Amino acid sequence: MKQIIICLLLLTVFSIPAFSQKTKPVDYSQKIKEATPKPLPQTPVVKRQTTDAQEDNLKGKVKTVTSESEDLSGTWQTQGRKLSEITDFDENGNRIKQLLYDSNALPFEVSVYGYIDGKRVSDYEMIKLEERPIIMAITPNKNQERTKPDPRYKFSFEYKYTSGKLTEKKWIQSNGDLWIKYVYNHKGNQIEEIVYSQNGKLNQKYLSTLDNKGNEIESVEFDAFGNPSEIKSKYSVKYDSYDKKGNWTKKTTSKVIIENGKEVYKPMYINYQTITYYP
């Protein structure tokens, strides 16, 4: 199941030139610390049928997942293995903090998770850097009555399940307005993911095929804004290594293209996971 990343919905990050080798490395830890929202209450826990770790198909008592990516297509301005995400979980598998990085390995968003008034909620802040101008792109739904936002958090989440499987997830803004809705249709080893915007219009559509470990081995993206039944792109995923808990540590994603009437797999990028666990 694809990971939901709020940054793709909230901002536009401009590309910047690759850093010169003479540029002095910058310590961004203070910037991250300044941007990090205060921790949200972790009790009382809102019970649900799956945890964040399970929805990410993580096995064992995962504490931290450090994700890195490497471009193979030659489209990134800078090459090599780059930090992309650091996510912390509690001992029950619930996400408590997430730090995201852009394609230049610059930190740009930090989120915290918790519970308020019987809701699963999150708060986040963008990390402002001189190297990267940011434009916010939140567009309120004009068809809904505007109410005052709750200053304690940015989003709450609502879940629906069928036979123990997540079938719907809503992101609700703190003023009560729907932000986005994800619908998951399960059939055998496939999951159809349909994403709706706040106005109810189709925004994205995918079909994932899973292996017997629950890992995605094929992903199909459909033309959501044109013909939703038409395939826009297709990807194949190969898992190169696993850790002792059975979680993948390296995978290679290839784009399927047609050459001379045949499907050809063109490697696009490599993802890495380094996972630490609770005792």
DSSP state of 244: T
Q: What is the mean pLDDT of the chain?
A: 88
What pLDDT was estimated at residue 133? 64
Tokens of 171: 């992101």
Kindly report, residue by residue over 210-263, the tens digit of the pLDDT.
999 999 999 999 999 999 999 999 999 999 999 999 999 999 999 999 888 888
What pLDDT was estimated at residue 75? 80
Nearest Cα neighbor of 250 from 271, 236, 269, 235 is 271
Measured CA to CA, the distance from residue 144 to residue 56 in angstroms comes to 32
The shares of helix, strand and coil residues in the chain, as percent rounded to the nearest 5, are 5, 50, 45
Measured CA to CA, the distance from residue 97 to residue 54 in angstroms comes to 16
Q: Are 38 and 243 contacting, i.e. CB atoms less than 8 angstroms apart?
A: no
Output the CA–CA distances (angstroms, integers) from residue 191 to 1, 8, 75, 207, 211, in the order listed.
8, 21, 29, 6, 12
Nearest Cα neighbor of 274 from 54, 28, 63 is 63
Measured CA to CA, the distance from residue 48 to residue 125 in angstroms comes to 26
Cis omega before residue 107 (within 30°)?
Answer: no
Please, what are the domains in the chain? 7-14+27-277 (2.40.160)
What pLDDT was estimated at residue 27? 77
Which residues are registered as beta bridge partners of 132? 129
Q: Are 100 and 88 contacting, i.e. CB atoms less than 8 angstroms apart?
A: no
Tokens of 197: 């915007």
Question: Within the chain, which residues score under 50 in pLDDT?
Answer: 3-25, 137
What pLDDT was estimated at residue 174? 96
Nearest Cα neighbor of 28 from 124, 132, 113 is 132
